Structure 1
Amino acid sequence: MRDAVIAAENESFETDKGVDPMGMARAVWNMATGGSTQGGSTITQQYVKNNFLDSDQTLKRKVTELFIALRLGVSEEKDTVLAGYLNTAYYGRDAYGIQAAARAYFGKDSQDLNPAECAFLASVLKGPNLYNPDGGIGAAATPELNDQRARERWAWVLDRQVEVGRMDKTERAKYTDAQFPRASSRNRPAA
């Protein structure tokens, strides 16, 4: 899971100081001009957002996020930050945290996930409403569209792991579209 999430979310996680200055500048500019604030956050910033701040998209909250992330980026071990992020992130299916997600999607413990399942869960992190194959809220979040997005993102996460040196090409070749993980329907929460 570590390799999938770092490759997909924040390639420089293990060496950065908790923030991406260019990503932050883009986010602040987009906020100031009324644009989207999506993207540009490091794993540390996402961890801060999940654990220390409310969900308001304001300039004040973004600045607070920056300062807390900088502090954590130099004071906390990277393993602690990554574990905190993985254990508090929302994966859809009412699952907060990697263990709950492994149970909700695959009916197994997180330590038993294979690389294809890890890439799937890393894909869902991008936005469970649009990447959970069950579907989500709104016309763009149908089971069919979400499944298509999840498959594309899943393949991208696997390719990205090769691109950034977190998986070798031989291992990647094992995961074709036929190996796309099938989330168990028996683990879905009741509607």
Structure 2
Amino acid sequence: MMIHETTKKLALAGLMVGIAVGLSGFWFPLGPAKCYPIQHGVNVLAGVLLGPWWAAGCAAAGSAIRVAMGTGTLFAFPGSIPGALMAGLGARLFSSSRQPLGAAAGEVIGTCMVGAYLASAVVGPAIGKDVSFPFLALGFAASSVPGSLLGALTAHRARKKEVLGDLRRPHGVCEDN
């Protein structure tokens, strides 16, 4: 991988982390739940633009910053990293025009299934809380589904309007991770 492409990926990853942290306070009510969709939307964008490993790195960095600032909990890690990884893998499974939908589906599956399982089996007991998998899966879905749709719509519109310029490639900024 060329140095120039690595620099582009690093800059874009930093931008994704900044967006996730800067807008992490945005929420909306959905029934009795508060939905925080921004991290999940960023996961979809990072999955499409950067690929699975960089997207997971963005999610980990954003989670660490939010936890350090006191605006996130330890559930931020399993609630974002598996979704970002699966978003990147989902984007890779589809043609260029369908990448945002594949990334959104991957994000929801990764967050609601893998992330909720990890949160209930590892994080919950580690912090002394007994939280059931179905409870966490529903809670994670309340933020993951709207956020993933927001991210997919943003990625689709950005591609359609050619906002992304030379970042517009079949599998993101660079073929290799």
What TM-score does the superposition give when structure 1 sets the normalisation length?
0.34
The structure number with the bigger radius of gyration is 1
RCO higher in structure (CA 8 A, sep ≥6): 2
Specify which structure has the higher proportion of helix: 2
What TM-score does the superposition give when structure 2 sets the normalisation length?
0.36
